[in-house]
Structure 1
Amino acid sequence: MRMRPIAALIASLSASFIALPAAADFRINPYLQNPSSDGMYFTWFTTSADAGSLAISGPGLASPIVLNSLPTLESTLAYTNAELNQSISGLDKGSWLIAGDNYKHTVDVRSLQANTTYQYTVTQGGSVFQSSFKTAPTRDAWSSIRFIAMSDSETEPAGRVSSREWQPGALAAGGLDRPSAAVGGTWDQKFGTRVQAGVRTLNYVLTEDEGYRRNVEMVNSRTPDFLMMPGDLVQGGGYQPGWDEFFRQNAGSVASGLSSHPILPALGNWENFGALNGGYGNDADGRFGPKFGRDKYHVYFDAPDNGTPEHRDNYYRVDYGPITIITLDSSNGLPDDRPQNYANKLTGTQYNGPGTDTQNNYTKEQYEAAGGTDLSDFNPGSAQWNWAEQQLADARADGQVVFVQFHHVPFSNGEHGVGMDHALTTGQGGTPMRQYHPMFEQFGVAAVLSGHSEMFERSFVDSNGDGIGVQYYDVGVSGDGLRSGKKNGSLLSDPALDYNEFSQWTADQSAPEQWAMVDGVLQLVDGGKHYGHLEVEVEYLGTESLYAKVTFTPVYLFPVLDSEYNLIETQRRVYDDVVTVYLNGAGQVVAVPEPAEYAMLLAGLALVGFAARRRA
């Protein structure tokens, strides 16, 4: 269906309740994708059709490289009538909307030097944007690489004024209980409470917007080489204001971290959701929500070629020096499945196999009937499966350190941890992605990074019992829900289901909340689940037996309150589950060396000038 330009839509509505900000030259600041050792891919959006120019200067360039953009009008990103008419309690109507059209600019820059910092300037009309970026190193010349993984930010303008439920978790032994969740109590008056799964519980102290903003600030302060986001970037891929909020935080008026470090995204279930515009079905204007959401995703992100044009952006490979990142699309499996297909559902920790589908919300037939051609089955024998196997084999042959990301966490004690045939299924379980584990273990994947259950959880799976398996993380704590583990019943107060036998650590249970009276006020002094991210450091060691060290650091932002529960600051803290793995010259995980052995190794390397260098 052809959509009218935004100017015509706005003119058709009463101007009395639409308060659009004045148009700016940049609708979205330049953001980076597809990093390599010889270049970077630049994208930005404007509200007008004027061409822009990108100038790059730095080492090895006698004069700046200057390239012009060829803007394209992206009508898929125009506001719909439902979005223009939306009201959000606590915000002036339409105050979150942006005037003007959506023109996309892209410039792919290659032939640069590896591991080199360049400055760049984008000139657009009367506006000038300046930043810098660093190319990836080569596999043969590097010292350390830092990246961050986080998912489930699920941005939307309503997040500016809303807080999510703070589901109860473990309490520290000998400590005090949480504040009362009673209606009218101190916590309720300050932050609100809500009934969640039959239990009244606390709202979190930060709004979704502030939680994500402070999380992003911390990420940016750590100057990562790149950012991995395994899905659920926005609260509905078909909801344009959600995308506006995402880029406002990452390449806009609030912060612009993606202007200096590239993003490697993955499709999540929310990117397959139309929100106001059809949800998982059709809206009043005939849009099919899942297709509309994925169409917008494809506009914003341009991934490397994967050999199947209709699946481009869904799954892809990026090599960053010695690191290979494989991104998969866990959105839809075939045959399509749903809970109604199982008359006798499993209970407790029963498990009859992974299943074939991660969602019961729409079928391939429905999607293709709406004109969609980009769904990519992930099951054995599919184009995606065969591609993944080929890429993993190729990366292993090259001796790469391999990480994989996709949205639906396969091993989880959380909300989406059980399969479609379980009595407690959400219809969106991640267990079908367990089918990939033998492949991951065979090719020596160091870690798999996912989200979806909105928990911070680490699992370790070692099929052959040799002590060298794969680390699995749920990093779904960017800025949306803060969930506890799934319960064996219908209430949050029911016993934990503990469905995931491979779970090693969760913020929910392994970092108990420590409440204490401080100056006569009940305060959280440590622990608990909070917004955060996983920081990953890969360091060069320099021998064939111990080529590299990978350190996984789970970071959380701890809110410090005054005696009236006003926020003083958020502190960067690290959970007590820092994990280190070692890899050999073939990029394979090896047994962890004894501390004395490792110390002797470092001392020997230092003598010959090859000591691993940790970046400040």
Structure 2
Amino acid sequence: MRDLRVLPYLQNPASTSMTISWVSYADVPGTLTVRGPGLGGGRRRVSTTPQPMPILGYTDAERAEEIPGLAKGSWLLREGNVKHVVDVEGLRPGTHYTYEVVQGRDRYQGRFRTAPSVQDWDRVTFIAMSDHETEPRGRVTRREWAPGEVAGLGRPDAAAGSTWDGVFGTTVLAGARVLRYPLTEDEGYLANLRVVDASRPDFMMFPGDLVQGGGYQPGWDEWFRCNAGPAGDRLGRTPALTAFGNWESFGGAVNGGYGSSADRSIVVRSRGKYHAYFDAPDNGTPEHRDNYYAIDYGPLTVITLDSNNGEPDDDTENYEGNQAVGREYRGPGTDTQNNFTAAEYAAAGGTDLSDFNPGSTQWRWCEAQLADARERGQIIVMQWHHSPFSSGEHGLPMYHKDTSGQGGTPMRQYHVLAERYGVAAVICGHSELFERSFVDEDGDGVGVHYYDVGVAGDGLRGERRVAGPDSERLSYNPYRQWTADRDEPEVWEDRDGVRVLTSGGKHYGHLHVEVERTRDGARMTMTPVHVFPVVDTDYRVTRTERREYDDKVVLSIRPDGRVRP
């Protein structure tokens, strides 16, 4: 495309409206023409008001960056970031529309379907995936493949100089040499997205960590290249519901990460880029807009939270000499990150941080949304980034000896609301593993299913271990029901003297959710899906296949939107 930097992408799906956005290089108006029922004469044409977004420009460090394996600067686009946003209203529920965007010399044709009405619907399909963490380096990077369960024959030799090492590579993880995954991050992510496309979802949920640094513009360029660009344009027909992840506050390694305690301007800039791209519905607090919001999609209400700032701020240094060890749990804690404080962020000019703890503006808003959705008989799904019940890297609270400093346990405080208002599922990410937990504190047999879907296209981690990759699992999460790491053992076969994986294991994937109307309510089926790389005896990836993990969960929903025991 010559004048479109980012192809049109859909947001804020509703039964009578849709938001269509795109980004151009030049500061000139574009036109959007929508065709379909309910529009005057069957067509509506709008000329846009361009919004220059200088915050989306490259830094000097990004222009000077070198990535081994890629020609210098080959991933950079031309300068210029001008956003166009059109809220198309007055549409009809459950109806197909076509549209055309003309921007300079470029012409894009798309289509979408509005959400059904609460009264008239049959099926809703959505996909959830997290921890995309896109960056140009992902085009040439194969991630470490953390060992999990193995059934029968063991993995191929991971020694330096082995056959696997010569083709896909190996690396050292916690003192032990392990295999690298057969697909690059880019290949795995794109294969994952192709599987998503085949399922034709009504919308997609992205609970955080979209990019490898919210302040790193090449990361955003990669994300849109894959989702609203030359490598895929699914967001031109499938609305996206996004959430802030911890990486959206990170400036990128070349830009100084989180900055310093004296200057957190890079964090402000990082979150500012997210705000520049995404437009969420009003939540009643202008400075918190885009951080948390609610979307009704027919019988579903999706509530998105920002889990990145808990107050009072906390830090691992606060527990020196008094740290928990092993499986000791003293409570959830108050903060999910020790990278910067709210005061440091405010001193750098930031105004958009939203505390999530009980009594906060976000907490009160969330409870009001839950109460409203329950009163209307909606099926409620929630999403945020930091998984509150995790067996993975980020499952330990701030006061634990082995914490990452980014544990999601403070978000456990929301379970009391989720159970009280009958939330069907909470979908998160963060630990870069596939996990399902089930929490039923009042013991009535209903409870809430919690998912970590952090396997979109970056790391392939397993459950946290006591020591190295081959030590026993820490098992810190007592609510764990299933992980791909432990419950989907790798099956290897010897073929012509070469060890080849035939099934099982940790792979890139997503959660596929079907909600079907029944005579007495609804049925909600949640299926963990992975993309399996088929490798031949020469260690060539011949194709990838859609496969389902053996942990399909089927919920029976009452007419009032609550889950039956």
1:495 offset after TM fit, Å? 1.1
Which amino acid is 1:487 matched to?
R
Partners of 1:512 and 1:269 lie apart in 2 by 30
Relative to structure 1, is the Cα distance of residues 102 and 282 closer, same or farther in structure 2, using a 3 angstrom cutoff? farther
1:550 counterpart = 2:524: yes
Between the aligned partners of 2:495 and 2:26, the Cα distance in structure 1 is 55
Tell me the CA shift for residue 197 of structure 1: 1.3
Matched, 1:235 2:209: no
Query: How far apart, CA to CA, are the structure 2 residues paired with 1:448 and 1:57?
Result: 36
Partner amino acid, structure 1, of 2:21: T
What is the identity percentage for the equivalent residue pairs of Structure 1 and Structure 2?
Answer: 57
Whole-Å separation in 2 of the counterparts to 1:291 and 1:542: 50
Maintained 8 Å contact 2:496/2:537: yes
Q: What does 1:154-233 align with in structure 2 at a 5 Å threshold?
A: 154-172=133-151, 175-233=152-210
Q: Which amino acid aligns with 1:569?
A: R
Q: Deviations over 1:403-446 (max 9, x none)?
A: 00000000011001110011110000000000000110000000
TM-score, length-scaled by structure 2: 0.98
Other structure's SS at 1:365 match: helix
Once the two structures are superposed, residues 84-127 of structure 1 have per-residue CA deviations (whole angstroms, 9 ceiling, x without a partner) of 00000000000000013000000000110100110110011121
2:124 aligned to 145, 166, 179, which one? 145
Which residue of 1 is the match for residue 67 of structure 2?
88
Residue ranges of structure 2 left out of the alignment (5+ in a row): none
Match of 1:269 in 2: 246
Q: Distance in 1 between matches of 2:497 and 2:176?
A: 27
The separation in 1 between residues aligned to 2:59 and 2:123, in whole angstroms, is 46
Greater alpha carbon shift after TM alignment, 287-296 vs 333-342: 287-296
Q: Report the alpha carbon displacement of residue 287 of structure 1 after superposing the two structures with TM.
A: 6.4
Measure the CA separation in 2 of the matches of 1:518 and 1:405: 43
1:165 alignment partner, SS class: coil
Counterpart of 1:398 (choices 376, 398, 401) is 376
Cα separation, 2, equivalents of 1:540 and 1:259: 27
Quote the offset at 1:580 in angstroms: 0.3
* Partners of 1:386 and 1:457 in 2: CA distance: 29
Aligned to 2:390: 412
1:340-355 equivalence runs, <5 A: 340-342=317-319, 343-355=321-333
RMSD after superposition: 1.2
Aligned to 2:107, the other structure's residue is in SS state: strand
Say if 1:514 and 1:525, in contact at 8 Å, map to a contact too: yes
1:46 correspondence with 2:24: yes
Q: Is residue 112 of structure 1 aligned with residue 75 of structure 2? A: no
Q: Deviations over 1:264-283 (max 9, x none)?
A: 00000000100122311159
Q: Is the 8 A contact 1:274 1:288 kept in 2?
A: no
SS in 2 for 1:441: helix
Q: Give the distance between the partners of 1:462 and 1:64, measured in 2 at CA.
A: 50
Q: Which runs of 4+ in 1 moved over 6 A?
A: none
Q: Residue 49 of structure 2 aligns with which residue?
A: 70
Tell me, yes or no, if structure 1 residue 128 matches structure 2 residue 102: no
| CA–CA separation in structure 1 for the residues paired with 2:261 and 2:412 | 34
| Cα drift, residue 519 of structure 1 | 3.4
Q: Indicate how the Cα distance of structure 1 residues 386 and 435 shifts in structure 2: closer, same or farther if over 3 A, else same.
A: same
Aligned equivalent of 1:560: 534
CA contact (8 A) 1:277 1:287 kept: no
Instruction: Please say which structure displays the higher CA radius of gyration.
Output: 1
Alignment check: 8 A CA contact 1:139 1:322 kept: yes
5 Å-filtered alignment, 1:311-330, equals 311-330=288-307
Tell me how far apart the structure 1 counterparts of residues 535 and 174 of structure 2 sit (CA, whole Å).
28
Determine the C-alpha separation between the residues in 2 that align with 1:203 and 1:508.
16
Contact 2:327 2:474 in 1 (8 A): yes
Tell me, yes or no, if the aligned pair for 1:278 and 1:287 is still in contact at 8 Å.
no
Q: Aligned equivalents of 1:193 and 1:520: distance in 2?
A: 20
Q: Shift of the alpha carbon at 1:383?
A: 0.2
The match for 1:448 is 426
Partners of 1:216 and 1:289 in 2: how far apart? 30
Residue 530 of structure 1, aligned match among 499, 507, 516: 507
List per-residue Cα deviations over 1:200-226 (Å, max 9, x = no partner).
111100000110011111111111000
Q: Which residues in structure 2 correspond to 1:382-397 (within 5 Å)?
A: 382-397=360-375
Supply the distance in 1 between the matched residues of 2:54 and 2:524 (Cα, whole angstroms): 43
Equivalent in the alignment of 1:599? none
- In 2, Cα distance between equivalents of 1:222 and 1:283: 46
Structure 1 position 348, deviation (Å)? 1.1
Letter paired with 1:155: T
The question of 1:470 aligning with 2:444 is answered: no
Aligned-partner SS, 1:384:
helix
Match of residue 579 from structure 1:
553
Q: Distance in 1 between matches of 2:161 and 2:261?
A: 39
How many aligned residue pairs are there?
Answer: 562
